[in-house]
């Protein structure tokens, strides 16, 4: 179950989401990020708060933009959260979709994929307690998870899958967040498995995807309004293409109880390991609505 990261809310609402999710039956709690967005929270303190408040669920990111960060500092942040959570952190990473986030962070926009690979290597060394500066102390703390924090790659294409197969435990496919397609996901799951085999790996790759859902009193308006607001942020950067994307996506959205059931059942049929439900409201009652629809 996702957090209401992209909606205006405060402390009590955020804590209510942590507690309701931790009550079950959800396997995990997931957050996601966008730097240039009015309502979005920072994932590092948010995960730290979730780690302190929850006791049971796994903590996920889906996904954070790794190449625009300092990998040593970010590795330290994530190791701290892994300790706070008692070893419950899984980190989804990707290159992100917005160059303007890089610009705002003062980070280069070139060679993103290569820089992500290099950042992963650096973070693994930090977690293994290899000093980043010769002759000096390592960067603490040591993660609770002995093998280091699991990394999921937010990638889609064949070249990106091949790169991910060198360092990730699996793939978070971002392509179905608006329009769930079980057949497409099953095919992509097979491509991920083939990439792992081509890399000489014998472990089964984890495969998952997020899906936006809406179950409020007027779920259609709830979801359409959110999509329009989210993509309208892109009009500044993309011009007419941003307006076109808004019109195209809102014409094909799935909302309401039947859409949620279809996505969950389709995820099982497609062989997914995880389906992450991303809310389109900050109302904590949306968690109860999802439980009622799914009968859990």
pLDDT of res. 128:
97
pLDDT of res. 238:
45
User: What stretches in the chain show pLDDT beneath 50?
Assistant: 235-249
Quote the CA–CA distance of 42 and 198 in Å, as a whole number.
36
CATH number of the domain where residue 132 is located: 3.20.20.30
pTM surpassing 0.75? Answer: yes
* Owning domain of residue 211: 11-217+255-294
pLDDT of res. 178:
75
pLDDT of res. 252:
57
Position 194 in a domain:
yes
**Number of domains the chain is built from:** 1
pLDDT of res. 246:
44
Position 281 in a domain:
yes
Position 260 in a domain:
yes
């Amino acid at each position: 179950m996702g957090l209401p990261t992209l909606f205006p809310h405060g402390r009590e609402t955020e804590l209510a989401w942590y507690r309701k999710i931790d009550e079950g039956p959800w396997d995990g709690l997931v957050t996601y990020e966008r730097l240039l967005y009015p309502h979005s929270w920072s994932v590092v303190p948010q995960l730290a708060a979730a780690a302190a408040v929850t006791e049971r669920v796994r903590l996920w990111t889906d996904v954070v933009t790794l190449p625009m960060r300092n990998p040593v500092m970010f590795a330290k942040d994530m190791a701290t959260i892994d300790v706070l959570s008692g070893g419950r952190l899984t980190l989804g990473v990707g290159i992100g979709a917005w160059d303007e986030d890089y610009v705002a962070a003062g980070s280069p926009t070139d060679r993103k994929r290569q820089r992500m690979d290099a950042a992963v290597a650096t973070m693994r060394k930090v977690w293994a307690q290899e000093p980043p500066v010769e002759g000096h102390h390592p960067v603490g703390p040591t993660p609770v998870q002995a093998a280091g924090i699991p990394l999921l790659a937010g990638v889609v294409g064949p070249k990106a899958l091949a790169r991910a197969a060198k360092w990730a435990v699996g793939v978070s496919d971002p392509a179905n967040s608006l329009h769930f397609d079980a057949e497409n996901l099953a095919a992509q799951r097979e491509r991920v498995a083939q990439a792992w085999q081509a890399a000489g790996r014998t472990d089964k790759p984890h495969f998952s995807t997020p899906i936006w859902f809406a179950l409020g009193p007027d779920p259609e308006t709830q979801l359409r309004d959110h999509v329009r607001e989210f993509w309208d942020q892109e009009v500044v950067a993309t011009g007419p293409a941003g307006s076109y994307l808004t019109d195209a996506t809102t014409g094909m959205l799935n909302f309401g109880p039947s859409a949620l059931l279809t996505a969950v059942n389709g995820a099982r049929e497609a062989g997914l390991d995880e389906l992450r439900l991303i809310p389109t409201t900050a109302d904590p009652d949306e968690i109860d609505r999802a439980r009622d629809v799914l009968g859990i």
